[in-house]
Amino acid sequence: MTTKLFLSLFICTLSLTVFSQKGNIEGLIIDADSRTPLNGATINLAGNKGDNSDMFGKFSIPAINPGSYEVIVSHIGYKTEIIPVEVKPNLLSSINVNLRKSNLDLSEVRVNSKKSSGLTTIGAVDIRLRPVNTSQDVLRIVPGLFIAQHAGGGKAEQIFLRGFDIDHGTDIAITVDGMPVNMISHAHGQGYADLHFLIPETVEKVGFDKGPYFTGKGNLATSAYVDFSTKDFIDNNIIKLEAGQFNTQRVMGMLKLFNKTTEKNRQQFYIASEYSSTDGYFESPQDFHRFNLMGKYNAWLGNQSQLTITASTFDSKWFASGQVPDRAVQAGIINRFGAIDDTEGGNTSRTNLSVKFNKQWKSNWKTTDQLYFSRYKFNLYSNFTFFLEDAIYGDMIQQQETRNIFGYTTTAAKSYLIGNKKASSEFGAGFRYDDVMDIELAKANRTTFFNSIQKGDVKELNSFLYVNQDVELSDKFSLNTGLRYDHFIFKYKDELAGATDFSKQKKGTVSPKLNISYSPNQKVKLYLNNGIGFHSNDTRVILDNGADDILPKVFGTDLGIIFKPNKNLILKTALWHLYSEQEFVYVGDAGVVEPSGKSRRMGIDVSARYQFNKWLFGDFDVNLTKARAIGEAKGEDFIPLAPAFTSIGGLTAKTKDGFGGTVRYRFIDSRPANETNSVRAEGYMLLDMVAAYRVKKFEFTLSLENILNKEWREAQFDTESRLQFEPNPVSEIHYTPGSPRFFKAGVSFIF
């Protein structure tokens, strides 16, 4: 017995001695130009040990056998640095690395990043390559995402992704600099996401991923999330002038008003503004006008504290020709760019203020605190059925609201060791409070108000907390688990019912996540993501109808791989499945929400990025989806407008002598427009081009949309309507015609 005890103690002592002989590497990654910490750099050693730099540019690699190593530091859009390091027993080796921006080189991209998925890597490549044309182009960075505009340039776009007709944002969570874009319990539709306050030239990066797998994402983040980040610092001032067909003009400016750099601190305050107008390609001028103004102050105090204050405002107004009935075009009553009612349109505005503070504490805790406020106004006129209900004055409706949004988010994260394996924990909490005043659906046109159909006040509070845990099980395996709790308080005062107080409903939901990744080497990463997400119902529906399905869940699984078979090619593919407890058909124009039962979506996503030479790149995405309602008879279980086959791709050039450009295609196949597939929404394939050439302080740009001048339908719906002379209503495809060939040119002065 004594011998066994002695032997056990000897083995434990030997193990501790061996472990104690190992060393550690830690370091700081800095952007050499801005002199600020660089987030998301990939750090690799020989074998498969590695890490990613955090928001403060810091990384650490523990439990390294003594010896000589090369530390490979890479970041998409930066020149890779290789740093020799000598690791000694029981000692900490520290390195500081300055990365300089350079032209993108796929040979330097590593796909075994600890913190980013394959889709994130693909997106980081795309945002570095593609010229910026519009904010909608930036949204299209998400592979497989399609958008459609169907009420002039001022209405939020309709979004399609992963077999969802997301409407204007029901199943996708969108933020700008951490501030939510989506409007819950909105006058026009749940999750309404109007991104037009974002000036495209200010976008620095786009973070996104698909599925309900991410603990920090709550309401609406079922098919995907998209996080836009604007530039913290700008290198140059810029003034841009653009003009195009259909009386299109745009002027944009981005100017540094304050810029100070010292050895330890970096501060900058810049403003950006744009004004755009167009008559559009319709017979009736849209008379569209939009004004944007943004200011951003950013300060790094040492490498431990960052303060960001952002303020923005935008206002737009427009007319729209709406969707046209196919029968009216076929009969020659109007042409495809005409209108049955050309007085649709509206005006909308939004003012935002955000204060964010990041702090690295001596205890190694990292915290983020963000406080934000939005003031939003919305007014929309629509006429989808023409004279179906009112044969004299027509069926035009008005939707409007005014709201204040208050929000706060806090996170605290820390990295540490479990044995000799690295782990990190993050805790988050916060709230969002929407105070919506006079949310109304009325029968009205531009000149006459007839009567209110719905009118009242909404107060909705979403408070949340979550914990997210990352553990490196080995040099090759990583585990991510998370648990999120969201609590909602819904209040609605129905003015038309004579209510003097708010009716109230409460509901909470728990969303667990479990994600596993395996990287056998620096060229391959496999992952299995699992999670539960949800989207909330409209407050008015919950309180008016006592809906049981207040926070229906979505259950998701992704099995994917990203790999580099050679230095110039990145491939990514994923098999996925989403099960929804309850679909909602938002008929906001009639003031109702129709539950449509359970659904299942499954599919495969494939993406490829290839570098032909130093200046020419190719990209290709294809997405196959099967979307079906559960519990319906076969042949009657189609989900209207759910995309089944989409593909996006193109060639992009970026040369050292100042030329950049891309030729791109978009393809979406025909798809069911109703539950029986007896009515089809037509597919289309389009070619677009954007080119830019810079010489000294000037950059010249040229964009050409729909190069082949195809006749195509942008937004399509199976709608029942009646023209004024028709004795009976007709149900058929109504559509907004897509843009004909459109030419736009611009010149920028950079100083």
Of 133, 72, 71, 125, the residue nearest 103 (C-alpha): 125
Q: In what order do the strands lie in the sheet with 42-44?
A: 50-52, 42-44, 67-74, 81-87
Mean pLDDT along residues 414-433: 94
Residue 646 tokens, joined: 């989409």
The per-residue pLDDT for range 653-676, each reduced to its tens digit, is 988 888 989 999 999 999 999 999
The per-residue pLDDT for range 288-337, each reduced to its tens digit, is 999 999 999 999 998 899 999 999 999 999 999 999 999 999 999 999 99
Distance CA 244, CA 252 (A): 15
Unique residue bearing structure tokens 């196949």: 669
User: Looking at residue 191, what DSSP letter applies?
Assistant: T
Query: How confident is residue 62, by pLDDT bands cut at 50, 70 and 90?
Result: confident
Distance CA 428, CA 426 (A): 7
Distance CA 614, CA 105 (A): 7
Mean pLDDT along residues 506-518: 96
Distance CA 47, CA 475 (A): 8
Flag the least confident range among 227-231, 594-598, 683-687, 724-728: 594-598
Phi, psi (rounded to 5 degrees) for 164: -105, 130
Percentage of residues of the chain with pLDDT beyond 90: 71
Of 226, 297, 323, 200, the residue nearest 714 (C-alpha): 323
Q: Rounded to a whole number, what is the distance in angstroms from the first to the last CA of the chain? A: 82
pLDDT at 504: 93
Flag the least confident range among 86-100, 136-150, 530-544, 596-610: 136-150
Residue 609 tokens, joined: 């990025």
Mean pLDDT along residues 41-57: 83
Residue 605 tokens, joined: 């996503």
pLDDT at 138: 76
Range 18-102: architecture per CATH: Sandwich (2.60)
Distance CA 278, CA 26 (A): 54
The per-residue pLDDT for range 191-212, each reduced to its tens digit, is 999 999 999 999 988 889 999 9
Distance CA 218, CA 239 (A): 38
Distance CA 369, CA 358 (A): 7
Taking 50 as the threshold, does the pLDDT of residue 14 lie above it?
A: no
Residue 553 tokens, joined: 């869940």
Of 497, 554, 563, 498, the residue nearest 525 (C-alpha): 563
Taking 50 as the threshold, does the pLDDT of residue 11 lie above it?
A: no
Give the C-alpha distances (Å, rounded to integers) separating 454 from 127, 547, 592.
43, 17, 10
Is residue 270 a contact partner of residue 256, using CB atoms and an 8 Å limit? yes
43 or 626, higher pLDDT: 626
Distance CA 703, CA 289 (A): 20
pLDDT at 117: 54
Mean pLDDT along residues 717-741: 95
| Residue 590, amino acid | A
Rounded to the nearest 5 degrees, what angle is found at the Cα of 699, between the Cα atoms of 697 and 704?
175
pLDDT at 585: 64
Taking 60 as the threshold, does the pLDDT of residue 688 lie above it?
A: yes
pLDDT at 18: 41
Taking 80 as the threshold, does the pLDDT of residue 544 lie above it?
A: no
Taking 80 as the threshold, does the pLDDT of residue 108 lie above it?
A: no
Query: How confident is residue 8, by pLDDT bands cut at 50, 70 and 90?
Result: very low
Distance CA 712, CA 723 (A): 23
pLDDT at 133: 63
pLDDT at 2: 46
Taking 90 as the threshold, does the pLDDT of residue 360 lie above it?
A: yes
pLDDT at 16: 39
pLDDT at 75: 86
pLDDT at 115: 60
**What is the domain partition of the chain in residue ranges?**
18-102, 137-750
Mean pLDDT along residues 383-401: 95
Unique residue bearing structure tokens 């299942």: 600
Average pLDDT value over all residues in the chain: 90
The per-residue pLDDT for range 16-38, each reduced to its tens digit, is 334 457 888 999 999 888 888 99
Taking 90 as the threshold, does the pLDDT of residue 343 lie above it?
A: yes
Taking 70 as the threshold, does the pLDDT of residue 220 lie above it?
A: yes
Which DSSP string do the residues of 557-583 spell out, in sequence order? EEEEEEEEEETTEEEEEEEEEEEES--
Query: How confident is residue 590, by pLDDT bands cut at 50, 70 and 90?
Result: low
pLDDT at 46: 67
Cβ neighbours of 476 (radius 10 Å): 18
pLDDT at 723: 96
Does the structural domain 137-750 have CATH classification 2.40.30.40? no
